[in-house]
Structure 1
Amino acid sequence: MYLSRVRVATEGLDRRKLLSLLHGDAYSNHQLLWRLFSDDPYRSFLFRQETEIEQLRLGAEPRGLPLFYVLSESRPVAVPGLLDAESKPFSPVLTTGDRLVFRLRANPTVTRKTETGRSVRHDVLMDAKTQCRQQGGDDPEDVRHRMEEAAIHWLADRSAKAGFTLESAPQVTAYRQHENKRKGAYIRFSSLDYEGVLKVTDLDLFNQTLRRGIGKSKAFGCGLMMVRRA
């Protein structure tokens, strides 16, 4: 596995693609990053989009453009004039019981059955908001608390099968609803950022989690868990 930091050379983009990039079009950005893996017939990478706010290398100034962190099975190949990739092997040496600071952008969803018995997937936060109001909770602070609580429970409920436990309630921020048009149809999903401290409980499962990601919408920049030692 390889972890890469990818920058975009804007001279390689036409106006339409540049606007899509700046507007955070997750599907277009996924297609753009796939050009780093032109020999791969299927998506074998996870990615997370950030903004250039950090010092990238000595003498390099942030440009306010998107920057991507990409975890992949094969080493990405830079696309001259378009994509620059700084890569390093990803093989963390971990043990059961390790405490790690993590960052995760996820698409938390819950499945509910309709009156006809059909299963429909819902945004966890919007579902919690609906449930709260149906139960008579109209106070904005109560609704906000229920939404945040539902988001935390979503991650906590998946932690055992993912090989870790949460040391405390993580921070949840940057909730965003996305809408992308693909082949004439609209794709809608939401994303939420988690940040906190976890403890590794099952090393094999946790290593799988790092490589495979968590939750839905991985092709749209969700699921990649980034970790460092606490």
Structure 2
Amino acid sequence: MYFSRVTLKLNRLHDVLHQKMQNSGPYAIHQWLWQLFPNQDKRAFLFHEEQIGKGYQYYLLSETEPLSNHDLFSIETKPYQPKLIVGMRLIFSLRANPVVFKNGKRSDVMMNAKYLAKQQGLSSKEIKIRQHDAAINWLIKQSETRGFSLLTTDDQQVHCTVTSYNQQQFSKRRDLKPITYSTVDYQGVLTVTDAELFLNTIYRGIGKSKGFGCGLFLIKHYQ
């Protein structure tokens, strides 16, 4: 596996590309990043977008090494194979698209929690708490089969928080129905419970909308 830091060269975007990025957002970025992996029919990378000032930076995790040169990006790449052991604690950040299924249909975890809380007549403050808890509980449930735990071994408390929640909408083309989904940004500390399984989770990503910049765990050792 390879881990890359890719910076978008905004000065290389002519008017058409600027318009495409404005209208199509994550879909346009996904297409451009895919150009770093020529001759691949299937997406074999995860990415995470960070806004740096007025610019954009992308962290990529890929099965193959990306191109070293591209007109739109500056690219830094290194081999990636984390050494994980059971009990290791890691600081992590994650952008995910947490969903639940109701009556066979996919529903945004945060909006579902808001709907249920409103039915109970809860206050705005209580609704936000319910939404935060619903997002955390989604990640806890995922952790049960993904080789990690959000419960710390010291005090058995969940050391994780939601830092942002955004509803996304974009169109691949003007004549197509807009694509809508939501993103939740998490930050916290996790404990590795199964090293091989969690490594596989890192490599494959977690949750929906991976093609739009969701699902990539960014990790570092907990001091």
- Deviates further, 181-190 or 143-152: 181-190
Judging changes above 3 Å, is the alpha-carbon distance between structure 1 residues 79 and 185 closer, same or farther for their aligned structure 2 residues? farther
Q: State the match for 1:15 in structure 2.
A: 15
Structure 1 segments unaligned to the other structure (5+ residues): 54-63, 114-118
Deviation, structure 1 residue 22: 6.2
**Equivalent position to 2:205, from 171, 193, 213:** 213
Secondary structure, counterpart of 2:178 in structure 1: strand
Deviation, structure 1 residue 13: 2.2
Q: So what's the TM-score if we normalise by structure 1?
A: 0.89
Summarize the alignment of residues 48-59 of structure 1 with structure 2, pairs less than 5 Å apart.
48-52=48-52
Structure 2 segments unaligned to the other structure (5+ residues): 153-157
Secondary structure, counterpart of 2:191 in structure 1: strand
Q: State the match for 2:188 in structure 1.
A: 196
Contact 1:30–1:220 (8 Å) recurs in 2:
yes
Contact 2:160–2:187 (8 Å) recurs in 1:
yes
Paired letter, 1:132:
A
Paired letter, 2:128:
R
Q: State the match for 1:99 in structure 2.
A: 89
Q: State the match for 2:155 in structure 1.
A: none
Summarize the alignment of residues 124-143 of structure 1 with structure 2, pairs less than 5 Å apart.
124-137=109-122, 139-143=123-127
Count of paired positions: 214
Q: State the match for 1:226 in structure 2.
A: 218
Aligned partners of 1:141 and 1:72: how far apart in 2?
41
Deviation, structure 1 residue 24: 8.0
What CA deviation, in whole Å up to 9, does each residue of 1:2-61 have, x standing for no partner?
0000012234322132244467811111011001011211100000000225xxxxxxxx
Aligned partners of 1:85 and 1:143: how far apart in 2?
42
What CA deviation, in whole Å up to 9, does each residue of 1:58-95 have, x standing for no partner?
xxxxxx21110000000110343222210000001111
Paired letter, 1:120:
K
Percentage of matched positions with identical amino acids:
41
Structure 1 outlier segments of 4+, above 3 Å: 19-24
Q: Is structure 2 residue 62 aligned with structure 1 residue 89?
A: no
Secondary structure, counterpart of 1:36 in structure 2: coil
